[in-house]
A and B are shown apart, each in its own frame.
Chain A
Amino acid sequence: MKKLGFSLIWLLAFSLHADEAFTKDVLPVLQKHCFGCHGPKKQKGKIRLDQLGPDLVKGQSTEIWHDALNMLNLGKMPPEDEPQLSRDERHKLVGWLTKELRRVVDARQNKGGQVVIRRLNRAEYQYTMTDLLGLDMDYSEEFPSDAISGDGFRNNGASLEVSALQIENYLKVARAALDIVLAEGEKQERTITKVERNKGKVKGPGSKRFIGNSSDRLGRVNFWHGSFKDLPRTDAFTIRIRAYTDRKPGQPAPILFARYGYFVSGLTLNIMGDAGEIAIPSSTPKYYEISGHPKLFPLPESHVPAGKMNGVITLQNVLIDGKPATKPIDKVIEEERKGKIRKKKIKVYPEDPDFPRIIIDSVEFVRHDYPSWPPPLHRKVVPEGKDLRTSESVRRVLGDFLRRTWRRPVSDEELNQWTAHYTRIQKQGDSEIPALKETLAAALASSNFIYLSEPHPAKQPRKLSAHELASRLSYFLWSSLPDEELSELADSGRLLESSALKKQFSRMLADEKADRFAEQFSRQWLDLEGVDRVAINPQYYRNFDNRLKPDMVAETLAFFREILRSNTSALQFLDADFTMLNATLAKHYGLNGPKSQRFERVSLKGTNRPGGLLGHASTHLAGSDGADSHPVKRAVWIRDRLLNDPPNPPPPDVPSLETSVPDFEKLSIREQLALHRKKEACADCHRSIDPWGIALEGYDAIGLLRNKTARRKKPVSTETILPGNHDISGLADLQKFLLNERREQFAQALVSKLLTYALGRSLKLEDEPIIKELSASFAESNYRLADLMKNIVTSRPFSSR
């Protein structure tokens, strides 16, 4: 009872306080400027404000207040011929309305509790299927893209939807995968066919830009192109390539890229898919293997007779060393078309003698290539001695699979149901393996598989079960299901002991699979997709190669991974003395770096390249419009992603400054922004947004230093005043400011983002104390990410729901 009394008083005090602010600051402004026309005497536009009351959450007045805010922001109220609000009055009124409306949004979003059940997102589904079946294929290709939650993540249960299309895809993909995994019948003879090179002219696969000769020596231009008869429709195959390189010392290893596909006799076109890439480092001939399965490649329609189907293999050297391709030479060739010889002008790309080449010795196509029979992947599902002959072994196989798939024990009732389902399918006329495939495919479309659920009908929190905790942990660190060791600890319940949990955390973080966390989290936290959404305008960046964009993203991904893996301070996200580069990106930055495409740690000491995320080209490019920097975009990114303090969204239908200021379009962006801040309606928000972006004005759309803007050739200035009257100039100052003045805010922002990702839900008011706690220990541990993650995993919200 005592406790209840206390919270009542507290609530009362709180609302009193809110009312007080309203009465003291807001009401006088309303009385002075608004009630005259929207009060007891007059109700212009049928709007009366004086009776609405200040409680926007409980009251019915939300929409009217919302309209009022819009009117203020639009500059429509007060009307021009009435006295205008002073800056202070505007600040008070707009500030109060904005804050209260945000409270309404929060309250309504959390009405009736939070969504806890969450569907596996595309990445999680991809990794889960890969780990479950051991088969590496593109499982999520045809799935619709997942929604991003308000806080920027793709693993938020509330935003992830399910549709009929989605469920059909689950079935379809599972069937396709199980068709490959589960083998039927007797082992067939492994046969090796030598693939002969087709000689003559070849149009480059996938690109008409190249016309080269089919050759054994692959440089920048030539292709190896060969074909063979009797394309298989089923059974694993291997393409065995004996090759070496003639690279000179210090040159990077060339990369062999294979494409595999078919053509039908009588038709001229090759239909192919990418088969994979392999580095060829050795200068003595060695075998390199690319294995695959016909079902993962395009196949001719089912009615095409086997005799007419031919396999095609093309090999290509796809090493990128950062140097430009050779200049084309115009050439006239004779081409035969419909019996006539015609002359045709083409561009020929000569080989570059300084490019490390791949020399192809031989290519073989190996059919029915299994190390044992039934193949190992089959044995993962149907172990030796449980070959579905007896109902007991069927039950065992199904039970094991369901337990792994659903990440929890399976009840007898459930198992009975699924065994019966298997029998039913079998009775429809299937032999054991096809019936098993179908049953397992259905299990992979079950709500028990595609949702992570922690069933609990009541609103009060409860502790997670050991299996639920195991799933949370493995989806946090691996984006996938628990492995055997973790599952066993869940089975025995020992995972609930803090020491066992910590031990598992350390083991799993050390595992290579935790790189998935690094990639998934950093992609979403930093919104690296932003790079894909901007197209670089070739008018201003003539030599920009779009293939650099994935490299820019890779720099940031590798940087995050490096900080995580080296267990060093997360403050390096704000400023660091190194970055991660490959040959092309190093060249882009004008730095000495690796010679190959592998990303390596490169020191920035003694260079003018800034460290930390704010120095990454990915940040600059995503925060641009493809020609010039976009300071507002960059500013919003900093405040949202690094400081977890996103500015309010722009009010609707903002009147454009453009029309009211003569020659507005001739001003630089910076001058335009300065005008923005002068106009009261815009100023309130923009004063606290723009400076963050202006500090980065020294970097252009592709992340390089600049003096002038791209479009108007105006000189750029990076001088600005950050909140709290901090005069700064440029990125280095901004970094110092962030490290000195906003260190705690950044740390707390990162804690909040990580916690949001780990829990798969938006944070709420009740999470405040734990965020504070985690932030404090984060600071104590010198901002080590791994320590923070461990503390998250052992925190109360992580082990309860």
Chain B
Amino acid sequence: MTTTDMYRPKGNLKDSKMNHRALQMNRRTMLKASGASLALPWMESFAGAQTKSPPRRFCSIYFPYGVSLPKQGGEYGQWNWFPKGSGKDFTFNKPLKGLEPFRDQVTILGGLSHPKVRRIGGHDSGDTFLTGAELSLATTGLKNSISLDQFMARTHKLGKSTRFTSLVLSSDGGTGMPTRANTLSFSRTGQPIPSFNRPAIVFERLFGLKGDSIEAQRKGLTRTGSHLDLLLDEAKRLHRKLGKVDQGKLDQYLTSVREIEQDVERSAQWLRVPRPKVNAEGLSLDADNETPGKLIHTMLDLIALAFQTDSTRFITYQLASMHGAISIANKFPTLLGFTNNAHGLAHGAGKGKKGAENKGKWDRYQAECLCYLIKRLSEMEEGDGSVLDNTCIFYGSSNSKTHNNTNYPLILAGGKNMGYQHGQYLTFGKNVPLANLFVTMQKSMGVHADTFADSTGELDGLTS
């Protein structure tokens, strides 16, 4: 047997000429069954104490390149993403038609944008959706600032009472690079937080099926705890020997180890609580970026399950990163039978009827994904209502169309118990920073802070 015959190139890291017995551990696991069905509602949180009121949750979903915006009332006006009319008196155009059954659960917001982001390139605004930072080389050296989810979950510690402080998802995974980040979430120091993009791994993390016994896990955590001092010690010693720039880089390591220190403590407490048992049957955990429909909907399922089991209260999900040339998700529309890739659809949107319609249809598909999540959450009972009533969903893009940095298309959904007055289409003037909405949202979540980024106040007319 010749060695080169043994492997078909699969495009992974494996050396295709390895000269020993075939052994490939490509665990593209086909997870299907896991026994018992869902248990553990939010009230059985680990402290054992019965929580009085249901948890408040936040989920943000982002898509790039804005939406189709032909002239309202014009020939192709029905493909304009924004509704016709205003206030309570509005009609959905075609792209958002699917929201009609949830009309009382959503507010459409027009006119808002991040003022500082208007100064940077329209290609560069993806990273800033939840931060509002002026991400330019000249002013910030491409350094971002904290994102809304992390501000609430970490800075204001709202994420401390669940197994996971937050969950960061995307289609591309990892962190990407400045201005083309593959994540919506950024830490206190503006560091990108790596995102997960594979359902099987997210499922494993949330509901863990793997073999380790509780005892073994506890031992592992204790051990991890005991290593950290030594690891810190060593890194500090290295730190002293480095130049300034290198030190800045190694700081990431030091910060991360300290972060693990806190997480270890928390995980140890959580060990006493069995992981929620979730039936994976019906979840397409093997979905990947060749099957985007399955992939997106499985991710949405996982978001719903994570909320329902109160595994976390903060989730961000980037449907695609900003750069057509870099995001793997750029091809999703093509795979789903649309006429072009995402970037192509956006740039084609100005090209007459067909263009507006083609892009509008893709906008509709993305909005239907939001509907799917709303529907799932509304079907999950909690207290007197549903999980949706205790979840604030913030959906949208930081471009109005293609690479335009004003008038973001935004939807706020759910969170009835947090005081939202839905069923409206609100428009705002250019001088209202989007961060004002963030302040409203963080307050509704229970954060006692009156500002976020460049906010100038709160948003009127949204909450009672």
Contact = CB atoms under 8 A, between A and B. Distances in A.
Given A277-B8, A417-B230, A658-B351, A269 B32 contact: yes
Interface in A636-669: 649-654, 656, 658-659, 664-665
A533 B21 contact: no
B15 A167 contact: no
B328 interface: yes
A253 B201 CA distance: 36
Interface string B219-245: 010111011001101110010011111
A474 B216 CA distance: 37
Interface in A144-186: 144-150, 157-159, 161-168, 171, 175
A62 B138 contact: yes
B17 A512 contact: yes
A271 B242 contact: no
A251 B408 CA distance: 60
Nearest to B181: A147
B330 A318 contact: no
B85 interface: no
B193 interface: yes
B5 to A, nearest CB: 4
Contact of B259 (A114, A158, A164, A557): A164
Contacts of B257: 164, 167
B256 A300 contact: no
Contact of A455 (B191, B194, B241, B325): B241
Interface string B113-156: 00000011111100000000000111101000000000000000
Contacts of A320: 8
B331 A144 contact: no
Contacts of A532: 11, 289, 328
B344 A625 contact: yes
Contact of B1 (A157, A278, A298): A278
B172 interface: yes
Interface stretch (A392-400, A441-449, A718-726): A441-449
B98 interface: no
Contacts of B331: 533-535, 626
A162 B175 contact: no
A218 B193 CA distance: 47
B354 A665 contact: yes
A77 interface: no
Contact of B231 (A445, A457, A553): A445
B26 A290 contact: no
Contacts of B224: 168, 171
Contacts of B444: none
Contact of A533 (B123, B249, B326): B326
A442 B227 contact: yes
B334 interface: yes
A84 B342 CA distance: 36
B174 A453 contact: no
Contacts of A627: 334, 340
Residue with the highest number of chain B CB atoms closer than 10 Å, among A108, A279, A421: A279
Contacts of A159: 177
B463 interface: no
Given A298-B29, A318-B8, A425-B223, A147 B352 contact: no
A157 B249 contact: yes
Contact of A551 (B9, B173, B263): B9
Given A142-B201, A167-B256, A281 B226 contact: no
B47 interface: no
B60 interface: no
B341 interface: yes
A665 B242 contact: no
B215 to A, nearest CB: 9
B213 interface: yes
A285 to B, nearest CB: 14
Given A267-B35, A533-B325, A277 B22 contact: yes
A275 interface: yes
Interface in B333-353: 334-335, 337, 340-341, 344, 347-348, 350-352
Contact of B32 (A147, A271, A424, A625): A271
Nearest to A442: B227
Interface stretch (A116-124, A692-700, A770-778, A784-792): A116-124
A598 interface: yes
B138 A66 contact: yes
B260 interface: yes
Interface stretch (B204-212, B308-316, B425-433): B204-212
Contact of B175 (A147, A292, A456): A147
B110 interface: no
A278 B22 CA distance: 6
A526 interface: no
Interface string B365-403: 000000000000000000000000000000000000011
Contacts of B290: 546
Given A116-B243, A417-B233, A267 B138 contact: no
B253 interface: yes
Contacts of B325: 530, 533, 633
B243 A512 contact: no
B8 A292 contact: no
Interface residues of A, number: 138
Given A63-B138, A112-B245, A136 B18 contact: yes
Contact of A665 (B7, B35, B352): B352
Nearest to A455: B241
A649 to B, nearest CB: 7
A53 interface: no
A271 B30 contact: yes
Nearest to A117: B246
Contacts of A145: 172-174, 182
B37 interface: no
Nearest to B262: A164
A653 B122 contact: yes
B242 A456 contact: yes
A137 interface: yes
Interface centre among A291, A438, A447, A512 (most CB of B within 10 A): A447
A271 B9 CA distance: 25
Contacts of A303: 213
B231 A166 contact: no
B268 interface: no
Contacts of A536: 334
A790 B326 CA distance: 33
A501 to B, nearest CB: 25
Nearest to B119: A63
Nearest to A116: B246
A147 B176 contact: yes
Nearest to B240: A457
A741 B229 CA distance: 60
A272 B290 CA distance: 21
Contact of A144 (B33, B122, B194, B235): B194
Interface string B1-31: 1101111111101011111111111111111
5 contacts: A142-B201, A163-B194, A273-B29, A281-B5, A537-B334
Q: Which 4 A-B pairs have the closest CB atoms?
A: A535-B331, A144-B194, A455-B241, A144-B174
Interface of B: 1-2, 4-11, 13, 15-35, 119-124, 136-139, 141, 172-177, 182, 191-196, 201, 209-213, 216, 220, 222-224, 226-227, 230-231, 233-235, 238, 241-246, 249-250, 252-253, 256-257, 259-260, 263, 281, 286, 289-290, 325-328, 330-332, 334-335, 337, 340-341, 344, 347-348, 350-352, 354-355, 402-405
Interface of A: 62-63, 66, 104-105, 108-109, 112-117, 122-123, 126-127, 136-138, 140-142, 144-150, 157-159, 161-168, 171, 175, 205-206, 233, 253, 255, 261, 267-279, 281-282, 288-292, 296-303, 318, 320, 414, 417-418, 421, 424-425, 428, 438, 441-442, 445-448, 450-451, 453, 455-459, 512-513, 515-516, 530, 532-537, 539, 546, 550-551, 553-554, 557, 596-599, 625-627, 633, 649-654, 656, 658-659, 664-665
Given A255-B5, A297-B27, 4 more contacts: A159-B177, A168-B260, A275-B24, A424-B226
